[in-house]
A = this chain, B = another copy of it.
């Protein structure tokens, strides 16, 4: 990971590949690298789809090592959705493979002259980029099948579906999982549209002949990793809940807490939630005789294993096990309680290459506009088909919830910085509202997952219905998350890291043993703060102000049941999040 691969897609005579030393970016990984590079190299007022924007794809600091959970891939750019800086990260195999191939980052730059579509192949012998217009408008699953035929099964792919080619603001960058399916996505903020604007359909990685990245102190690294894994296995969330039910274990929990946004944030509890809960999902999966629920990771080295497969009644693959955010966005948010329909939409999202959160929320906003009724699963699937076809209606939805609201004149549109809310009502869980409002990313739960402490009582407890303590909670989580996103570690390690000091220490020990450093907890905090500072500085230069760190006003005026609460954290308090 000491080199950076820059591909100038706008070079005269076709794409120009250059491998350069990591230089000033040496030692950085994941979100630290993508955000630092975007902030330094991309003009904040450039058009996200223009020549001046860049797409930075970076494994984390520990990706490609034998360290557990280190398979996250960061994708950074100026977002076509928010207009601000964006880091979206994904599981899947690519981060490990890319890191083992020695790359700290792939950077797509410039703007193609013609309309050729390119594929990039990288293995131990180097980089090959070639125009391949036979790939045009292939959805992700077909594309990956084609790549398997062409390059064999020992590959990992980073790709866009049809949505990315159409430069939709909801377009994701897909990453293949251990089964070589395009089920893992750097989904948020339209990063796939930027890849599409660069004219790159797929990056195929093959690390055959490459070795695991070697730690400076192998023994210490091994020992720290063992402690780390033990910590994850001992924690109830990472050791029991997630492996048993996947992320969808949250449906019943959030519904019980009254924080499950239903019918486009009109209610906080969904009467049919039990029909789409993780428990029901696992039962269904097991009964149908598929490979069973929650039995494997999305990348090698995962010990939490929250992934699964969802089969139809005849036991045929329908989609990966839909995540909680997806069963919510296509489910409760739209008043849909049909797991098969949700799995079908999950597959379509992965196949077209769109963010399931943005997509589901956009469909809910279309329901609010009266295009179809809440609860109409068939109608929702049809709307999603329009996205795949790129009809005008599909383009509207594919441009995200904010644009859908704007085009159809809807007032109640749950977005911050034009990015759709995830699956937690900020009125019933005030801490997550602080994160939605203030993270540089636009509404994003992963940026500072206050659900942990507000609802799951991980890392202590802060009453979700009160405003006290939420600013500090969100701040600390945002700082910790930014640092974790730099390591390449799956964010789910945070549950154990927050609750168990020895697990946090073992993570630091891994970093120190690998790089020969002597970082302390304070250094990790400083890293997180530095990343946030860099991102906020970019956004300020792009024209963002405190006024962009606000929830839509209806969350402050419209109480939500069952707790009958509004979002009560004041603007003045929100403005204190980054005053550390």
Contacts and interface: CB of A to CB of B under 8 A. Distances in A.
Contacts of A554: 47, 50
A45 interface: yes
Interface centre among A50, A166, A550 (most CB of B within 10 A): A50
A552 interface: yes
Given A392-B392, A406-B399, A47 B553 contact: yes
B407 A403 contact: yes
A563 to B, nearest CB: 23
A554 B46 CA distance: 9
Contact of A197 (B45, B193, B409, B552): B409
B43 A406 contact: no
A320 interface: no
A396 interface: yes
Contacts of A543: 544-548
B399 A407 contact: yes
A46 to B, nearest CB: 6
B392 A49 contact: no
Contact of A409 (B168, B406, B408, B550): B168
Given A396-B392, A543-B548, A553 B411 contact: no
Contacts of A429: none
Contacts of A197: 409, 411
Contacts of A396: 392, 395-396, 407
A542 B544 CA distance: 11
A50 B553 CA distance: 9
Contacts of A49: 409-411
B44 A409 contact: no
A44 B408 contact: no
A52 interface: yes
Contacts of A80: 406, 409
A547 B44 contact: yes
A411 B547 contact: no
Interface in A28-74: 43-47, 49-50, 52
A46 B193 CA distance: 30
Contacts of A46: 553
A391 interface: yes
Interface string A367-404: 00000000000000000000000011101100100010
A136 interface: no
Nearest to A50: B411
Interface residues of A, number: 41
Interface string A549-571: 01011100000000000000000
Interface string A70-99: 000000000010000000000000000000
A400 B47 CA distance: 18
A143 interface: no
Contacts of A50: 411, 553-554
Given A197-B409, A391-B392, A43 B553 contact: yes
Given A168-B409, A392-B391, A545-B545, A47 B403 contact: no
A541 B44 CA distance: 21
A193 to B, nearest CB: 7
Contacts of A411: 47, 49-50, 197
Interface in A486-503: none
A547 B392 contact: no
A193 B409 contact: yes
Contacts of A541: 547
A167 interface: yes
Interface of A: 43-47, 49-50, 52, 80, 166-169, 193, 196-197, 391-393, 395-396, 399, 403, 406-411, 541-548, 550, 552-554
Given A196-B409, A399-B403, A544-B545, 8 more contacts: A47-B411, A47-B554, A50-B554, A52-B553, A193-B409, A392-B395, A399-B407, A541-B547
16 contacts: A43-B553, A44-B547, A45-B553, A49-B409, A80-B406, A166-B409, A168-B409, A392-B393, A392-B396, A395-B407, A403-B403, A403-B407, A542-B547, A543-B546, A544-B545, A545-B545
The 6 closest A-B pairs by CB, nearest first: A167-B409, A543-B547, A392-B393, A392-B392, A395-B407, A47-B411
